Amino acid sequence: MNVSDKYRSNWESYWRETADGRGEAIWDADPALSAVPHSELLLPYADADRAIVDLGCGNGTQTRYLATRFARAVGVDLSHAAVEHARRAANGDPVEFQQLDLTDTDAVHALHERLGDAHVYMRAVIHQSEPEARPAVAAAVARIIGTHGRAFVVELTSGARDVLRRAASEPGGPGPKLQRVFHHGLKPADASGEEIPRLLGEAGLTVLADGETVLPQTEHLGDGTRIDLPAHWFVLAGA
């Protein structure tokens, strides 16, 4: 299956209306808070001489960091507008970006054929995917890593909904970055905590390590507290 036209258009409109520059998207955290600690969790299990694919790369902030830790980094995103953001931000850095629908099995297969077994970095993609698309997203992770690659997947837990509800119910309403997420029909923390490990297991992925964390956002509550969304991370191998 492929994602719905509405889902695709929501992401295109979001990225078209997002300005260039670090932190303009609410989830566009500094790599020091995301890809840096996540790489440290992945690298004990992963061969740095392999390529790594950043699934749902957005404007490529994390991908550009991953290119400094792995032999090759490729960022892919459903949105053409996001990929254009990423290419502009790369400014000649040795990193690749391409548009890719993770539910398009032929396109995912072609990416695997091009790179061989690669590592995957996926930050908070399953939780906002359409429910019927989530098994295909998990299957894409398994396809890309094959036998020798490893994956780092981090997804929001149900606790993130409470944080988002608090942010949305601030006296002045949600901040402008969170407001834009809602305005474009995006649905953060939509998957249940139990759904994620089930989907990963059904895709044939084996958990090598896992733990609790938060995904720092680039917006704050009215009292100045940064919005940190509770999450669970997994280091995964293929069957």
Question: What is the rounded distance in angstroms from the CA atom of residue 170 to the CA atom of residue 154?
Answer: 27
Percent of the chain's residues with pLDDT above 70: 100
Confidence of residue 22 (pLDDT cuts 50, 70, 90): confident
Q: Is the dihedral of CA 107, 30, 162, 186 positive or negative?
A: negative
The model carries a pTM of 0.96
Distinct helix (H) and strand (E) counts, the chain: 9, 7
Per the CB < 8 A criterion, the answer to whether 103 and 137 are in contact is yes
Cα R_g (the chain), whole angstroms = 17
Question: What is the rounded distance in angstroms from the CA atom of residue 66 to the CA atom of residue 51?
Answer: 10
pLDDT of residue 172: 82
Confidence of residue 170 (pLDDT cuts 50, 70, 90): confident
pLDDT for 100 beyond 80: yes
pLDDT one-digit tens code per residue, 42-96 = 999 999 999 999 999 999 999 999 999 999 999 999 999 999 999 999 988 899 9
Nearest 5 degrees, angle CA 112-CA 211-CA 79? 40
Q: What's the residue count for the chain?
A: 239
